[in-house]
Chain A
Amino acid sequence: MPVKGDTSPNRWEHFPHDADVGIRGRGSTLADAFEQAALALTGIVTDAEIDPRTSVEVTCEAPDVEVLLVEWLNSIIYEMAVRSMIFGQFKVTLSNTRLQGSMWGETIDQAKHLPACEPKGATYTALRVAQEPDGTWSAACIIDV
């Protein structure tokens, strides 16, 4: 299970967009890339450490893996909003275009997490989920903030 700040080959990054933020997760498997994309989503909000105090489970389904990435990220955004939480660890299990996700985190605390901005929704812009020539997986899209 990847933890924020992990040094494994799995990793995430942000890429520029005029008004918003692009996120990209990379991993040795598609599920790893989805977990990394989730960490990139949290990275929009905060650089602070997050205690894995509470876990939340979600399931999503979509017609293809690209829309599934958007659904997964939007389900995290939803849980963040209604629970007023921030998540620092994710676990994804995939079976075709059905996803089972677990996330661990804590109640957001302005003093501790210094949240920069709130993700409004994952978009289909710059949406790309693909296996790269080197065999690793990449999962990317723009997040409206």
Chain B
Amino acid sequence: MDPARFTRIDQTTWQIEPTGAMRVPGVIYADEDLIRAMDDKVYEQTTNVATLPGIVKAVYVMPDAHWGYGFPIGGVAAFDADEGGVISAGGVGFDVSCGVRTMLSHLKVSDIAPVQKQLADSLYQQVPAGLGSKGAITLDPFEMDAMLKGGARWAIERGWGETRDLARIEERGQMAGAEPSCVSNRAKERQRREMGTLGSGNHYLEVQAVTEIFDEEAAASFGLKQEEVVVTIHCGSRGLGHQIGTEYLRDMLPAAAAAGIALPDRELACAPIKSEVGQRYLGAMRAAVNCALANREIIGHYARRVFVHFFPNTDLTLLFDVSHNTCKVETHKADGASRQLFVHRKGATRAFGPNHSDLPEALRKTGQPVLIGGSMGTGSYVLAGSPSSEEKSFASACHGAGRAMSRHAALRQWSGRQIVDDLAERGILIRSPSTRGVAEEAPGAYKDVGAVVMAAEQAGLARRVARLRPLICIKG
């Protein structure tokens, strides 16, 4: 994008002044290089979201933004139900509650090294990954509804997780307001045999080493120590969330028309929060959040089983589990008042700053862990929500590196086999059912995650705590 299209507020804040049907400005947080590299579609989609009814303050766009569906990926928008505010299936995304969890192993890299290959093979065997993989769990209709209501709490009650995890999962592991009756039988059918599966695309399970610490105090409070090993899982609500996204996108088209909402793009299909479709979507979307929370809890449990096999005295403890495709009801200050808002985060992570009442006691002083996935070659970051994130972005930050290149272009440029071999030489073991999938996810196809998190820090969204480098990557 051409930086001249924006009003530059400071080094990392770029404002789109409201024109035409825009009700609020658009604000992109990024450095100049990231702005120049961003697709013009991000600009267009930001201005489109700004036209939706009941939108509050501004559309915020994170440094890793790219061309999405209606909403830019990396977009944050909050709506007030009392002012005709809307809810949008595209503003949440197809993979509802896709997110990241990081677990601490308290092991050293040197403990892992002698068994790295066997550990990679066992994880690959125990955690179903990729299209055509089969989960070990089949849900009957009763269990399906219990899962959709119970989230990670349900998984724990069934023996796939630990009660102590709940404090460190958003919503304490169980999203309130989930309505299994708002989820279609087709969506449930798609999920029947998918619990505990990783999926494909950019989803992964990684064993990582803490390779750099930026903030000693915050790292200590998160339990992150130099050269210690963590396990990070990135996945979402699998087939159930995809089907809910697909169906409600379709149902919201006539709902928007009936409410007299002029859509600049069909993909922005939305319904007033206070409407029948809006309420049904909320019930279904919250059920999908629970599905994602349960899924990550189960995969975390599988990882624990494998680690205990190799290291009988190890205990994987959960640092945090956070979603980046959601719509949540939160209280924020806007226009001088405390208001209850429906905050959409599409490819953006909630990033509560220090002292936020929603955080568990152990994290309150430091702020919420913000888990940023990079590419399988470059590594990931752990950030902490900044005190200014509330004012800047309804307490939100980036979610990943963001792609710099399409899958199409990546396939032309790289061979999956070569990438696996090159990374193995650098001590990173990849396990995946598809070399083509690996090529599509080539490290070079992603933006520089370091530049993205630096921009998030400079913009006052979240501050860097630690950098993680991959040792093992299970890729779907």
Q: A residues bordering B, Cβ < 8 Å?
A: 14-21, 45, 47, 67, 70-71, 74, 77-78, 81-82, 84, 107-110, 113-118, 120-125, 127, 142, 144-145
Docked CA distance A113–B200 (Å): 14
Chain A residues with Cβ below 8 Å from B324 are none
Q: B residues bordering A, Cβ < 8 Å?
A: 39, 41, 66-70, 73, 93-95, 130-134, 186, 189-190, 192, 199-202, 239, 242-243, 245-246, 249-250, 253, 265-267, 269, 402-403, 406-409, 433-437, 440, 476
User: Contact between B132 and A125 (Cβ–Cβ < 8 Å)?
Assistant: no
Q: Which 7 A-B pairs have the closest CB atoms?
A: A16-B406, A108-B132, A115-B131, A124-B266, A18-B66, A116-B436, A120-B242
User: Contact between B200 and A118 (Cβ–Cβ < 8 Å)?
Assistant: yes
User: Contact between A144 and B190 (Cβ–Cβ < 8 Å)?
Assistant: no
Closest to A82 in B: B189
Chain A residues with Cβ below 8 Å from B95 are 120, 144
Closest to B406 in A: A16
Chain A residues with Cβ below 8 Å from B68 are 18-19
User: Contact between B243 and A125 (Cβ–Cβ < 8 Å)?
Assistant: no
Docked CA distance A56–B380 (Å): 43
Chain B residues with Cβ below 8 Å from A15 are 408
Q: Which of B66, B192, B253 makes the CB contact (< 8 A) with A19?
A: B66
User: Contact between A81 and B440 (Cβ–Cβ < 8 Å)?
Assistant: no
Q: Which of A19, A82, A124 makes the CB contact (< 8 A) with B267?
A: A124
Chain B residues with Cβ below 8 Å from A115 are 130-132, 200, 433-434, 437
Chain A residues with Cβ below 8 Å from B269 are 124
Q: Which of B93, B249, B403, B436 makes the CB contact (< 8 A) with A18?
A: B403
Contacts A74-B246, A117-B131, A124-B266; is A142 near B409 (CB within 8 Å)? no
How far, in Å, is B291 (CB) from chain A's closest CB?
14
Docked CA distance A118–B198 (Å): 11
**Secondary structure at chain B's binding surface: helix, strand, loop or mixed?**
mixed
Q: List 9 A-B contacts (CB under 8 A).
A: A14-B408, A16-B409, A19-B67, A19-B403, A77-B246, A116-B437, A118-B201, A124-B265, A127-B266
User: Contact between A121 and B440 (Cβ–Cβ < 8 Å)?
Assistant: no
Chain A residues with Cβ below 8 Å from B433 are 110, 114-115
User: Contact between A16 and B436 (Cβ–Cβ < 8 Å)?
Assistant: no
User: Contact between A117 and B201 (Cβ–Cβ < 8 Å)?
Assistant: yes
Chain A residues with Cβ below 8 Å from B186 are 78
User: Contact between B189 and A18 (Cβ–Cβ < 8 Å)?
Assistant: no
User: Contact between B267 and A123 (Cβ–Cβ < 8 Å)?
Assistant: yes
User: Contact between B436 and A114 (Cβ–Cβ < 8 Å)?
Assistant: yes
Chain B residues with Cβ below 8 Å from A117 are 131, 200-201, 407, 434, 437, 440, 476
How far, in Å, is B224 (CB) from chain A's closest CB?
29
How far, in Å, is A144 (CB) from chain B's closest CB?
5
Q: Which of B192, B201, B406 makes the CB contact (< 8 A) with A17?
A: B406
Q: Which of A17, A47, A120 makes the CB contact (< 8 A) with B94?
A: A120
Docked CA distance A117–B204 (Å): 12
Docked CA distance A133–B267 (Å): 27
Chain A residues with Cβ below 8 Å from B265 are 124-125
Docked CA distance A19–B445 (Å): 10
Chain B residues with Cβ below 8 Å from A121 are 94, 242-243, 245-246, 249
Chain B residues with Cβ below 8 Å from A78 are 186, 190, 243
Docked CA distance A113–B89 (Å): 32
Closest to B438 in A: A116
How far, in Å, is B292 (CB) from chain A's closest CB?
13
